[in-house]
Each structure stands twice: as C-alpha cells, then as structure tokens.
Structure 1
C-alpha cells in the first residue's frame, strides 16, 4: 500500500515504511499525480515539469523519470502511451481531507459523530501543502503549488471555524474556543474570528478571559496595523463588560464546511444591536448621487464611492443595488482579512449561485470549459462535480507561457463577460 502525505512536509510510505525518492523531479511528478484523480496527458506533464526542454528531450527525460518511479512503485503507476495516473488504491491525505471536510452532516446520526469526523480530517493538516518542497526551474509548477497551498489553508481555517460552531451547538464552549484558537493561529488579525472567541469566553463563564483577549487584540491591531478594533468588536466588548450579552440560539449547520455559503455564515452570529441596519434606514438626501450612479452604470463604468466615514456611502450603494435591474454580485474586502486570498471575489461568485436567474443562465453560458475550470479554482461549485481536483493548463489558448494567476484572472474576466451577455451585470 502506497501512502502519500502532502499536507505538511511531504512523506511517502510503502507498506508503512518510508520510501526514499532521490530525484526532485520524480517527487514533483508523484505529488502532482497524487492530487488529481484523472489520468494526465503526457504533453501536459512535459510542459509542466520540463518547460525549458524541446519536446524530444523532455520526452526522454520523462521516460527516464518514469523508469525510476516504476522501480520504486511497480504496482502503483498507471501508464499508457498518452497518459499517466496513480492507482486509485493509493492513500493520499489531500483526497481524504477533502472527502471528509465536505461530507454532509445528514450522514452522521449525531452531532458528536460529525465532530469526530471533522476533527479527524483536520488532524491530517500537518502544515502547508508540500511544505519545504519546491521546483525552482518550473514557474508553472510553482504557481500550481502555491495555489493549492492557499486553497488548503483556506479550507483548514473554515474547518476549524465550523468545528468551533459544532461544539457550540453542544454548549461545549471550551472545545469551541480551542478549535477557534487553531483557526486564529493562521492569522490572529481576523477580527470576525476574534469576536467569536470573545463571545465564547463569555458563554464559558470566563468574562475576565474575554476582557484579556480584547486587550491583547487591541494592542496587536495597534502594533501591526495602527488601527483600533472595529466598531462591531467594541460593541461586543461593551456588552461583555456590562454583562449584557444575550445567549444566542445555536443551530446545527447542514454541512461541515458550508461550501456554498459565504464565509460569514460559518461564524457564530454577532450580538444583535438595537439600532436598525443600514438597509433599514430611510434613504434621504442622496437622490442626485443615486441618479449619477445609475447613469454611470448604464455606460459600463468603474465606479468609486469615496468620502469620510459615516456620511452614507454604504447606504447609497445598498439603495443603488436594491433598485437596480442588473444582476448584482457583492463581495466585501476588509483591511484586516488579508489572509484569505480572493475572498471578496469568492463571496461575490457564491452569491451568483443563489440568484434566481442562475439556473436559467448557467446552461446557456457561452464559455469554453477551460475558462470555466479557471474560474472554478475560486469556486469549485461552478463545476458539475465540485470535488474533482482541477487540472493545470500551461499554454492556454491565446495565453502561452503565462502564470497561473494571470490565467485565473483571464478566466474570471471571460466568465463575467459571458455572464453579462445574458443579463446586465454589476460586480
């Protein structure tokens, strides 16, 4: 039995014993095949691993690499004249991690079993994807590795956040705090998670601990960013100090990671303030600006609202969105949430999946599958089988020798243009 552990410093075990693989390119090929279920065309692997070689030289180098791997793994490589793959019996921690973290809760008879399953899956994350490994002479491989590392990092943060929420539904506030601490270890400046931790301290009867955490957060924000805590954080802190925080009703999430919901839905709800929300406030005194927005939007413009805090920018934007006939995709970027790459775009695209027009637009999108796959790197739910690892496409049509990030942006742009052909679109 071949076992590959890629979440952290890579390890390869054959029948539970370490399997040394000396050549770096051989290991790179093995790791790439391990993260993809489908066979890979040889031409694709040539461009990925030996971009500097001409085709005959690259083919010979691949044959030499495969010869060495077959000697080490005689029964675990599926080789044809045109494709390569690993045997499906190979144990790969990334596959197991994805399978268990995206499992529906309905398959577990009790919340305790769901907690146990998610806890076990999260222990597979020993560190960053392929930590300590690199392939300096292949920019495409480096881009792929970095993208995978970001995706798994995002998943493990969401996983621990959801585990915290699951513990909270059982009123197990200490384990909920421990899970949240693991999520915050990736970036302690994420104030939404810090607010959840403050609230859990209070619910656990540790008001002093909540006050100490707030003081630590305040100092950290001042030292790292030169800013005070957000208003929501200060409001929560005041409620804790005044012993005036209501105990919220907690509900069991329907899936472990809620892959189709915005990240904010994974967090315990903040305390409810008595003041109305922005959208509940009456809209007055900005009708000229609103008409300016509508005129500019009709001309396909990039719009920027700027002004001093508190003068009504958010309320104006909400009124514009609510009264527009366009398809509105909304994402939020906050200065203190830099650790989640592309999060505003992911949030905006997820909103599309819940729009009433999406089921009718989706089948009619005039978009090449390769560009849909690129967009799905941000939102796998766009694909018919969202859990399938995405291939890399070096040398995409019209974009030879460009980086993975450039391909991602090109795919996203083409996706939005295809969407706009069916419905006026505002991002």
Structure 2
C-alpha cells in the first residue's frame, strides 16, 4: 500500500502525550489494553526488543514457558489488530516493528534530538518541540503489570528531561537571535515543570531586565516568594528554594 507520491503508507503512533494510533489519517482503535501496551513499547524506539524483556514487563510472575506462550498469543492479537500483519516482525529472540511500515513520534524526536547541537537549525528544534503534546503516554496505566508500570515511570521521567533540555536549547537559540518574547515563553514552560530550577529563574529575570520589563521582574520575584512560602511547609523543598534565592542574588536583590 502506497500513499500519494509513491511513499509507503505508514501506521502512525503518537506516544508523547495521550497515545494515538492513526492509519490513513483516521484513528485506529485496538480494543485490548495489553495489545496496545505492547505496541507502545515496541514503538518507543522502533528497535528490536528482546522477548525476555517483554516477558518481564508483562508476565514476570508466571513460569517462563507460560509467559512465552502468552507473548506468542499477544503478538498474534497485535498482528490481527493492525492493518498489515507485516508491521510486526519477530525472530526467535527479538520482536520489533517494521520501520518501513510504522512511524512513531518518539523515534522521530530521537532522530532529531541526536543531531549534534551545533548543527541544529531553528527549524529542527521547532520540529522536535512540535512533537510534544504532554507527558509520555499520558493517562496510560496497566494494572497487574508492575514492571510495565515501572517502565512507564522511568520513561516519563526521561522524556520530561528531554523536553527540558530541548527547551534550554530553544531558549539559547531564541536569545542569540534576539527573540526574547519566545525565549521568555519557553522559560515559563520550563518552570511549570521544574519550579525550583535556579538557573532558569535567573535567566528569566535577566531576560525581563533586558526587555526593560520591570513589572514582570517584580511579578517573578512575587512568584518566587510564593514558592518560598509553600516550601516552608516542606523541608525537602527548602534547599531547592535556597538555591533559587542564591541564583537571583547574582542578578539583583532577592524577593
């Protein structure tokens, strides 16, 4: 099956945010949760995944022979649920999705993200940022599979860090090009995820000062004062607040 222009039609899987599966521009529903979870795991990197790893994720509390039969059955269900059975490939030891038939936003992002920073043009960073719709596999859970749940937690943390690093690169690029408005917007987005990041608070205040936005500088200090008030109720947060205050003292008087 080919798309317009002679390109092979691909199944499109979106994982950075609420998961979406699309075929020919339309949503594709996979009725079984574990089938969807297997597809999402295989789509994350579009690389071969060891059968043993998949068994650990989904059936770590049953015998090895039973777990392998379960995986074989699950792969059959997955192939039957997809538009083309050849989208799923398997060997004796590994399972993978055919990258010629399947596209995923995570793989697309990693391809862009691995381009050396010095070679990353503005459009590349913008294209990577456009792939982020929210937390990794937002809203997904799989009760009864603790190892899969643990994998989800680790991946969500990893993708949040990638998002933050991408925001940092975009901010640097925005500042270098003189686009302070966009730099400020990206810094604010970053602080929504990491409200106690001292370097970002300092950078945001410096950008406000560069624009001559004294009112916004004061508002930022007020937000930090609110953070301090909240942190007083949590001993764990206090060291982070002290780092924020120290960072701001290098710019001017703290709140």
TM-score class, shorter-chain normalisation, is 0.7 to 0.9
Alpha-carbon RMSD across the aligned residues, in angstroms, is 2.1
Closer, same or farther in 2 for the Cα pair 1:121/1:36, shift >3 Å? closer
SS across alignment from 1:3: strand
How far residue 158 of structure 1 moved from its aligned partner, in angstroms, is: 1.5
Bigger Cα Rg: 1
Mapped to 2, the partners of 1:42 and 1:190 lie a distance apart of 40
Give yes or no for contact 2:198–2:247 (8 Å, CA) kept in 1: no
| 1:44 equivalenced with 2:43 (yes/no) | no
How far residue 24 of structure 1 moved from its aligned partner, in angstroms, is: 1.3
Unaligned runs of 5+ in 2: 1-9
SS across alignment from 1:195: helix
Counterpart of 1:88?
99
Counterpart of 2:43?
34
Mapped to 2, the partners of 1:166 and 1:71 lie a distance apart of 46
Q: Superposition pairs for residues 289-368 of structure 1, below 5 Å?
A: none
Counterpart of 1:79?
90
Mapped to 2, the partners of 1:117 and 1:41 lie a distance apart of 32
| 1:203 equivalenced with 2:184 (yes/no) | no
Mapped to 2, the partners of 1:219 and 1:84 lie a distance apart of 50
Counterpart of 1:148?
155
TM-score (norm 2): 0.84
C-alpha offsets along residues 313-354 of structure 1, whole Å, 9 cap, x if unaligned? Answer: xxxxxxxxxxxxxxxxxxxxxxxxxxxxxxxxxxxxxxxxxx
| 1:99 equivalenced with 2:111 (yes/no) | yes
**Which gives a bigger RCO, structure 1 or 2 (Cα 8 Å, sep 6+)?**
2
Specify which structure has the higher proportion of helix: 2
SS across alignment from 2:13: strand
Counterpart of 1:219?
226
Mapped to 2, the partners of 1:193 and 1:24 lie a distance apart of 39
Aligned pair count reads 235
Unaligned runs of 5+ in 1: 109-113, 242-427
Counterpart of 1:187?
194
Counterpart of 1:237?
252
Segments of 4+ moved more than 3 angstroms? 105-108, 225-229
How far residue 237 of structure 1 moved from its aligned partner, in angstroms, is: 2.7
Mapped to 2, the partners of 1:100 and 1:38 lie a distance apart of 16
Give yes or no for contact 2:30–2:36 (8 Å, CA) kept in 1: yes
Mapped to 2, the partners of 1:16 and 1:116 lie a distance apart of 24
How far residue 105 of structure 1 moved from its aligned partner, in angstroms, is: 4.4
Give yes or no for contact 1:158–1:183 (8 Å, CA) kept in 2: no
